[in-house]
């Protein structure tokens, strides 16, 4: 297995394809497997670098006091270990929060930025219904990985997608159950989320930015995506009708095409939609 030794510990990573480097940062408690409908299609155009963040999967855990800057430093250290001066950065949810901090703390390392189903955090963050977050957090305590996954269907996928792909999603949950995050692993990521607030710094992000969000996201409501796009100077916004939190899986064909077009410099492609 490929591991990068960084100042903070070992990070598991994978590289797929050739071309301009594109760093994929997974969301809360997630591993490279979360991008199962994105990595290979994007690798047809880019050198996709995807990794398990600290506290998830095969990478080392971090301390429970970790902040977003620490995760951003990890990403920069991974690029250092791979000899990559700069890369496009695509982050979803928690990974999108980290991606903002990569752009803020390591601006020279970022070419173009893709922020999906994420938020600037802080007091301006629009919260989902409290019961949604309680069920999201409770899923990690369910021992059966399939039952845990199904308990969050209503947050992650449309009813039609969940029904159509239930067997495949269950198969994947069983195959990847050894990668489920631990309470110790989640602690550092959770602390970083709770302290995340870029609202007053978004104007510092000068990179061309594509903000993508599902209109029916019950974990990070779509108002947060709209706020990000409004506050980042060079941002384009695209909403995916009916998309829930894992819209990047359900709407992958459309999103992958939009990302490829954006990274190629074609913002007109998004505006036309």
Per the listing, tokens 């695209």 go with: 238
Cβ pair 111, 85 in contact under 8 A: no
Q: For 110-122, how does the pLDDT look when each residue is reduced to its tens digit (9 = 90+)?
A: 999 999 999 999 9
Return the closest-CA partner of residue 61 out of 193, 195, 189, 192: 189
Q: For 243-252, how does the pLDDT look when each residue is reduced to its tens digit (9 = 90+)?
A: 999 999 999 9
- Tell me the helix, strand and coil percentages in the chain, rounded to 5: 45, 20, 35
Distance from C-alpha of 147 to C-alpha of 166, rounded to nearest angstrom: 11
SS3 at position 154: helix
Q: Domain ranges for the chain, please list them.
A: 3-271
Q: Into which CATH architecture does domain 3-271 fall?
A: 3-Layer(aba) Sandwich (3.40)
In this prediction, residue 238 carries a pLDDT of 98
* pTM assigned to the model: 0.95
Return the closest-CA partner of residue 117 out of 269, 259, 206, 221: 221
Low-confidence ranges of the chain (pLDDT < 50): 269, 271-273
């Amino acid at each position: 297995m490929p591991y990068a030794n960084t100042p903070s510990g070992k990070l598991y990573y994978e590289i797929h394809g050739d071309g301009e480097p594109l760093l994929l940062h997974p969301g809360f408690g997630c591993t490279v497997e979360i991008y199962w409908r994105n990595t290979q299609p994007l690798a047809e155009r880019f050198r996709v670098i995807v990794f398990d963040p600290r506290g998830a999967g095969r990478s080392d855990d971090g301390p429970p006091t970790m902040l977003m800057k620490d995760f951003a430093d990890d990403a920069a250290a991974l690029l250092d270990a791979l000899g990559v001066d700069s890369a496009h950065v695509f982050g979803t949810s928690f990974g999108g929060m980290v991606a903002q901090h990569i752009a803020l703390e390591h601006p020279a390392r970022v070419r173009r930025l893709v922020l999906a189903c994420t938020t600037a955090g802080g007091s301006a963050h629009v919260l989902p219904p409290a019961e949604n977050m309680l069920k999201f957090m409770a899923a990690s305590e369910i021992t059966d990985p399939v039952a845990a996954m199904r308990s969050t269907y209503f947050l992650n996928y449309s009813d039609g997608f969940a029904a159509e792909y239930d067997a495949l999603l269950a198969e994947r949950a069983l195959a990847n159950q050894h990668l489920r995050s631990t309470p110790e692993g989640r602690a550092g990521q959770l602390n970083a989320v709770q302290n995340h607030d870029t609202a007053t710094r978004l104007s510092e992000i000068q990179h061309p930015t594509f903000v993508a969000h599902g209109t029916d996201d019950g974990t990070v409501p779509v108002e947060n995506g709209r706020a990000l796009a409004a506050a980042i100077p060079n941002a384009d916004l695209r909403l995916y009708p009916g998309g829930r939190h894992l819209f990047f899986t359900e709407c992958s064909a459309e999103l992958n095409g939009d990302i490829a077009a954006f990274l190629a410099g074609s913002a007109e492609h998004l505006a036309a939609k």
